[in-house]
Amino acid sequence: MSDEIFRNPRDGLIGPFSPRLFTLQTAHGPVNGPQFMPVGTQATVKSLTPRDLKEAGAQMILGNTYHLCMRPGHKLIERLGGLHEFMKWDGPILTDSGGFQVFSLSGLRKVKEDGVVFSSHLDGSKHFFTPELSMEIQASLGSDVVMAFDECPPFTDDKATIAKSMDRTLRWAQRCRDYKLKPHQKLFGIIQGGMFLDLRQECMEKLVAMGFDGYAIGGLAIGEPIALTHEMVRQFAPKMPADKPRYLMGVGRPQDLIVASAHGIDIFDCVMPSRNARNGQLFTSEGKVNIKNAQYIEDRSPLDPACECYTCRNFTRAYLRHLFVAGEILSAVLNTIHNISYYLALMGRLRVAIAENRFDEAAAALYKK
C-alpha cells in the first residue's frame, strides 16, 4: 500500500495502511474478514429474523453472556439445544464475556479479586460473576467464539489505575484459559491498557504467552475522543499476531470500520446500525438520512439507490417516513434491514478492494460518505 495520507477535517483516515484478508474457521462455517457482526444481545438482532440476517449477508452474529444469563438463563438454553438451536441461527456466533455489561452497571457492582458482585438490572437480585462462571455460561450457550472475562475500566489518563485493572484482566484471562470449554469453541483474549501503548503491548505479550485462539482490543469506544480511538488502533493493531484473528470490540460508525480495517482489524461489532435504525437514522451511499424529516413526506425515491436490500428495492422514503412517524413496528424492521445490509455491504466492498490491491482509493471514497 502507498504512503499517501487521507485526512478528514474531524478525525481522519491516516495512512500508511496495512489492511488484510483473514478467514476465521468455525464449527458453523467461515468468517471472512474484515467482517461486521450484527449484535443479537438477547438471542435476537432486534426486529430481524435469521432469514433477514442471511439475506443481508451476515456471517457471524454476537450474543450477550450477561443478558442471556439473566434471562432466560444459560442452563435453560443449553437444555433447549444451545444458542444456535434456540434462536435458529445456523451460522457462527461469538458471545461476549459479560464483562462490559457488568462494569457498565457502575454503582450496582463491586469488583473483587475473584470476580464482580453486581445487582441485576432486571430485579435488583445479587449475582457474583467470575471468570469461571463466564466460561460456564458461554460453554452452555455453545457459541463458536468465547470471549475471556476482563475488567473494562472507564476512560481515564490515570496510568496506575489502568495498569492495576490490566493486571487483573491478565489474572482473569489465565483462569479463563484454564477452563475446559466445549471442543468446538475458540477462546479469544481481550487486550486492555487504556490509551497507553506500552500497557497494551505488555498485555498482548502476556496473553500471547497464554495462547489464545484470537485477540481483541477492548476498552475503546467508551467515551474517549474518537481521534484517540483511531490513533490507538493505527499504532497498535498492526502489532497484533498476524496468524490470529484481530477483533475490535464495540466499534462503531462506518468511518471507524474503514479506519480500523485500514490497519488490519478483522472483526467488528456495534449496536449502532440496529439502534440508529430504530431511531430513524439511516446510513446510505449518499450520507446519513434522518427519515423523520419533513423533506421526505412526498419523496418517491428509494432510501439508497445504490443499495440492493429488500427495503431499498421495494419502498420509498415517503413510506419509510410515514412508518416511523406513525410508530409502526414495520419501521424498525425495514430500517434495520437496510442499516445492517449497508454495514455488511461496506465490509464486502473493503474485502474486494483489498483483494484487488486498491484499498487506498476505495477507503478514501467510502470514508467521505
Q: Three-state DSSP class for 287?
A: strand
Q: Return the DSSP state at 298.
A: T
Picking from 96, 36, 31, 37, the residue whose alpha carbon sits closest to that of residue 67 is: 96
pLDDT at 254 (0 to 100): 96
C-alpha cell at 157: 489518563
C-alpha cell at 16: 500508511
Q: How many C-beta atoms surround the C-beta of residue 79 within 10 A?
A: 11
Domain region containing 289: 272-369
User: Are residues 256 and 331 located together in one domain of the fold?
Assistant: no
CATH number, domain of 260, equals 3.20.20.105
Picking from 218, 213, 129, the residue whose alpha carbon sits closest to that of residue 165 is: 218
Q: Whole-structure pTM over 0.75, yes or no? A: yes
User: Are residues 321 and 206 located together in one domain of the fold?
Assistant: no
User: Are residues 32 and 165 located together in one domain of the fold?
Assistant: yes
Its sign, for the CA torsion 206, 95, 93, 49, is negative
User: Are residues 280 and 171 located together in one domain of the fold?
Assistant: no
**Is residue 302 assigned to a domain?**
yes
Residue 124 near residue 114, CB atoms below 8 Å? no
User: Are residues 235 and 277 located together in one domain of the fold?
Assistant: no
- Which of 220, 235, 270 finishes a domain? 270
Positions annotated as catalytic residues are 96, 269
User: Are residues 48 and 123 located together in one domain of the fold?
Assistant: yes
**Is residue 11 assigned to a domain?**
no
**Is residue 4 assigned to a domain?**
no
User: Are residues 168 and 114 located together in one domain of the fold?
Assistant: yes
**Is residue 93 assigned to a domain?**
yes
Nearest-10 crossing angle of helices 254-262, 329-355: 20
User: Are residues 218 and 283 located together in one domain of the fold?
Assistant: no
Judged on CB neighbours under 10 Å (0-12, 13-18, 19+), 211 is: exposed
Q: Return the DSSP state at 10.
A: S
Question: 46 Cβ partners below 8 Å, 6+ apart?
Answer: 274, 278, 332, 336
User: Are residues 258 and 286 located together in one domain of the fold?
Assistant: no
User: Are residues 156 and 299 located together in one domain of the fold?
Assistant: no
* pLDDT values of the chain reduced to their tens digit, one per residue, 369 residues: 223 333 443 456 888 899 999 999 999 999 999 999 999 999 999 999 999 999 999 999 999 999 999 999 999 999 999 999 999 999 999 999 988 777 777 667 888 999 998 888 889 888 899 999 999 999 999 999 999 999 998 899 999 999 999 999 999 999 999 999 999 999 999 999 999 999 999 999 999 999 999 999 999 998 899 999 999 999 999 999 999 999 999 998 999 999 999 999 999 999 999 999 999 999 999 999 999 999 999 999 999 999 999 999 999 999 999 999 999 999 999 999 999 999 999 999 999 999 999 999 999 999 875
User: Are residues 266 and 280 located together in one domain of the fold?
Assistant: no
**Is residue 146 assigned to a domain?**
yes
User: Are residues 255 and 317 located together in one domain of the fold?
Assistant: no
CA distances from 265 to 105, 283, 328 (A): 28, 22, 37
**Is residue 14 assigned to a domain?**
no
**Is residue 12 assigned to a domain?**
no
pLDDT at 11 (0 to 100): 52
Half-sphere exposure of 268 (CA within 13 A, CB side): 30
Nearest-10 crossing angle of helices 197-210, 226-236: 50
- As for how many domains the chain has, the answer is 2
Question: 9 Cβ partners below 8 Å, 6+ apart?
Answer: none
- Which of 236, 270, 304 finishes a domain? 270
The residue to which cell 482489524 is assigned: 265
- Which of 235, 270, 305 finishes a domain? 270
**Is residue 238 assigned to a domain?**
yes
Picking from 201, 191, 193, the residue whose alpha carbon sits closest to that of residue 245 is: 191
